[in-house]
Chain A
């Protein structure tokens, strides 16, 4: 099946720093999604990308759909304590009935 590899697995940063994380696959995806999971909660969709090369922002978050369609990137600018959580990339299979998730990037922010 399709596999998504996320890096880094975890990050411990100072409040105010910028954050970059990425997701790669050996398969082509037509959609890339980024979810965030707060501690003790289910994941929530942050950004959806539908076109190769697309760059989309949601507040301090910016995500890009790689031009090869095999990778995607998420950047967080000026991190704050509430950015703490696990960030997942995800992509649907060709039939569109199953969503595959990456292993997640755990972000910790020091005030």
Chain B
């Protein structure tokens, strides 16, 4: 059981470039979400999904897109990277849309120059 797998672990981008952070879970969880972690600000929710084909915005969605074509995968797309998007990104999933007991991936550290 791999749990929640995130790739890549590290990425450096130039301003204006686009990229996709991958997230996959093998626990058949319905609920998946993306957070960003910045020093002193805790974890802030970017987007979430309560099931395949359903996505919604979280607290800080601007500059990010998501899709959920399968139960297993929930990629996060940066359309035109900005230095303000330099952060550590975490994907998390839960067995129910109740979103309480989240299983987190190991994180993806993104630097935008």
Contact = CB atoms under 8 A, between A and B. Distances in A.
Interface of A: 1, 4, 6, 9, 31, 33, 40-45, 48, 88, 92, 96-104
Contacts of A44: 104
Contacts of A92: 98-100
Nearest to B91: A42
Nearest to A2: B59
By Cβ-Cβ distance, the 4 closest A-B pairs, closest first, are: A42-B104, A101-B43, A101-B42, A103-B42
B107 A99 contact: no
A45 B45 CA distance: 17
Interface in B38-74: 40-45, 48, 50, 56, 58-59
A42 B35 CA distance: 11
B75 interface: no
A45 B58 CA distance: 21
A99 B40 contact: no
Given A42-B92, A42-B107, A97-B56, A31 B42 contact: no
Chain A facing B: main interface SS: loop
A1 to B, nearest CB: 6
A96 B41 contact: no
B54 to A, nearest CB: 10
Contact of A45 (B31, B33, B102, B105): B102
Contacts of B58: 98
A43 B43 contact: yes
12 contacts: A4-B42, A40-B107, A42-B4, A42-B105, A43-B43, A43-B102, A44-B104, A48-B100, A48-B101, A92-B98, A98-B45, A103-B42
Interface in B73-101: 90, 92, 97-101
Nearest to B31: A97
B13 interface: no
B99 A97 contact: yes
B106 interface: yes
Given A42-B104, A97-B50, A102 B97 contact: no
Nearest to A104: B42
